[in-house]
Chain A
Amino acid sequence: MALPQVKLEATEARLASLSLPESGAWLREAREAALARVQAMGLPHARDEYWKYTRPDTLVQADVPEAALFDAEGEVSFGDIDRVKLYFVDGVFDPEASDDPAVGGVEIERLADVASADIHWAKDVYGVLETRGQDPVERPLAALNTAVATDGVVIRATGKAEKPVNLIYLHRNTTSDAVLHHVIKVEDGAELTILENGPAAARFNKVMEVEVADTAAFHHVRTQGRDHERRAVTHTFARLGRESTFKSFTLTANGVLTRNECVIELTGNDAVAHVAGAALGDGDFLHDDTVFVTHDAENCESRQVFKKVLRNGATGVFQGKILVKDGAQKTDGYQISQSLLLDDDSVFLAKPELEIYADDVACSHGSTSGAIDEEGLFYLRSRGVPRDLATDLMVIAFVAEAIEEIEDEEIAADVLGRLEGWLERRRD
């Protein structure tokens, strides 16, 4: 089908400013195929059903809207966690600042380094999971990423990783346009935790493809910081084998535009996938969680838990789907999306969906939007807790269900501490 004229023009305008980077055979093929996908799909447009709640124009246009740098005043995520730190500055790996990537149980390479090889194991994942994730809903910005990304990590876990790998994204240039593509393979029985934090760039397009093999476990915890003017579109594509585990959690505070897509395919029996997020928005803020979980095997469990706290006209979006394919019996699917609206100007737009083709499944979903409990607030205040602090206590209580999805207690405590720190600085 031919693309509508507006879409065709916008896509051509963007592609005109891009060229495919030089690369070895395996990667060149993947890039060319991805570019062809972008041309066929066209880049997102405000009239696309999937972009009904979130305007994609600033993510699509060639010019990057300027984003002033933000002084995080020394706050760090995961500071007390023993981890391997890998730094990216405006989307470019910084080997000087980074730790030695030699860690027991994992092989860590840089995409820029393996790009020139003729052949690499990453060939079976790079662009492959992204391509699978294009059906039934197109995700053109992910295909664009596959076509042009030059940096990122290529990680293979062969055993239990000795420590988490922390990808840290620094923003130093007010008009940077960062594209990162990470490829992760967790082999049979292996375990890996990836931590991510930092604003990354004025505009950030990130794809992470994760192959979780049979009986393997992958944990992902990320914080997206307070850099107010940044924009980001991220895609996580995961394919899960038999008895494997995938758990992903994201804490977001501020940012004019964030769209986090997570596309999960459960392809082996008895696999478990949890994806959760807590987002705090204030003022000029739009946060969009778009999640698509496909059950294509028996006796798998999936959970989606998303909480948003919105004030001063902030917008929250949730599009979440559970697709249970024919034959995916004994599926246990759960989805909850909730917003706490701290004033009348803020909005929460939710589109929860279930599509089920198997007859023996248990799926449930719910979405709510509500104001703060005034009775509770008064009770706290009557004990001397000032209104702001009382509100924050209730905010923390509200998002707790999402934070509880983080399995590692130390990491969960770090995330909670980060959240408390943000709230505290906001009060001062």
Chain B
Amino acid sequence: MLEIKNLHVKLEEEDKQILKGVDLTVETGKVHAIMGPNGSGKSTLSYVLSGRDGYEVTEGAASLDGEDLLDLEPEERAAAGLFLAFQYPVEIPGVGNMTFLRTAVNAQRKARGEEEISAGDFLKLIREKAKSLKIDADMLKRPVNVGFSGGEKKRNEILQMALLEPKMCILDETDSGLDVDAMKLVAEGVNALRDAGRGFLVITHYQRLLDHIKPDVVHIMADGRIVKTGGPELALEVETNGYADILAEVA
């Protein structure tokens, strides 16, 4: 269970408050969606939870299954079971995707006191997972995300999620820049991972992703706060009327 309480975050470098008291609980086994206008703080929330530099938490708390996340290094948060599918996956020239994936899997196993996976077993595992996401051998050989199309980058994120089997997955606009077919593929990848032991926080602009990944709860974020929470119907309301009505209503 991901619990966020009264989270206030400002930029480290400037006096700019971005999150102004976020309260949110994602229960294990549930899918929550966050929608909201551009610049409302959705990506900031995902970065702060995963431990990126440059932000300062001025108030509030965040925990995963009772473990305080904010005190942990990014790699410790990952080992604790948190996963962020990046809005903009990072290109790392020179580091082979396969090496990266195996290193990540083994690092997490090591952190949890488990045995490392053998090269042979890893190969089998990755072939199976890559196939369902239509990721070919060439994409595995290339440097991490280098020369990948937008869709390939997003599929590579889902592949990582499938390999790492996190407890809590945050997807930041995983649908942006995808055509309908690519989005279906990504959604199938996510749905295959839906499980009673795993929670999801799906950040998106559009209802269309939520047609494929059906959320249990939908939140609307505006100006650094969750301003409204409801069921899947809330996403449809946004789709037909935009944010204006909702924002006016809560103002």
Contacts and interface: CB of A to CB of B under 8 A. Distances in A.
A381 B78 contact: yes
B224 to A, nearest CB: 22
B99 interface: yes
Contacts of B93: 397
B75 A384 contact: yes
A373 B146 CA distance: 14
Interface stretch (B6-14, B48-56, B177-185): B48-56
A376 B144 CA distance: 10
Most buried by B among A378, A379, A383, A385: A383
A14 interface: no
Interface in B71-105: 73-75, 77-79, 83-84, 86, 89-95, 99-100, 103-104
B236 to A, nearest CB: 32
A387 B103 contact: no
A398 B94 contact: yes
A379 B52 CA distance: 9
Contacts of B92: 373, 376, 379-380, 393-394, 397
A385 to B, nearest CB: 5
The residue in A382, A385, A389, A396 that gathers the most chain B C-beta atoms within 10 A of its C-beta is: A382
Contacts of B94: 394, 396-398, 400-401
A384 B53 contact: no
Nearest to A401: B94
A414 B91 CA distance: 27
A384 B95 contact: no
Interface in A367-382: 373-376, 378-382
A386 interface: yes
Listed residue (B51, B78, B84, B143) with the most chain A CB atoms within 10 angstroms of its CB? B78
A393 B53 contact: no
B207 interface: no
Given A378-B74, A396-B94, A397-B93, A384 B51 contact: no
Interface residues of B, number: 31
Nearest to B166: A384
A389 B99 CA distance: 12
A383 B164 CA distance: 8
Contacts of B50: 382
B204 interface: no
A380 B108 contact: no
A189 B62 CA distance: 70
A382 B78 CA distance: 6
A374 B53 contact: yes
A374 B75 CA distance: 14
Contact of B100 (A386, A393, A400): A393
B52 A384 contact: no
A385 B107 contact: yes
Contacts of B79: 384
Contacts of A376: 90-92, 95
Contacts of B164: 383-384
B53 A389 contact: no
Nearest to A378: B52
Contacts of B108: 383-384
A384 B107 contact: yes
A379 B103 CA distance: 13
A383 B100 CA distance: 9
Interface string B111-122: 100000000000
- Which of B53, B74, B100, B108 has the most chain A CB within a 10 Å cutoff? B74
A341 B45 CA distance: 31
B111 A384 contact: yes
Nearest to A381: B74
Contact of B103 (A375, A378, A382, A393): A393
Contacts of A381: 51, 73-75, 78
Contacts of B86: 379, 382
A384 B89 contact: no
A258 B242 CA distance: 66
A371 to B, nearest CB: 13
A383 B160 contact: yes
A383 B73 contact: no
A379 to B, nearest CB: 4
Nearest to B95: A397
Interface of B: 50-53, 73-75, 77-79, 83-84, 86, 89-95, 99-100, 103-104, 107-108, 111, 143-144, 160, 164
Given A382-B77, A383-B107, A385-B75, 4 more contacts: A382-B51, A384-B108, A386-B73, A393-B103
Interface of A: 373-376, 378-387, 389-390, 393-394, 396-398, 400-401
17 contacts: A376-B91, A378-B52, A379-B90, A380-B92, A382-B50, A382-B74, A382-B78, A382-B84, A383-B100, A383-B160, A384-B75, A384-B104, A385-B100, A385-B104, A385-B107, A389-B107, A397-B92
Q: What are the 4 closest A-B residue pairs judged by CB atoms, nearest first?
A: A397-B94, A384-B78, A384-B108, A379-B90
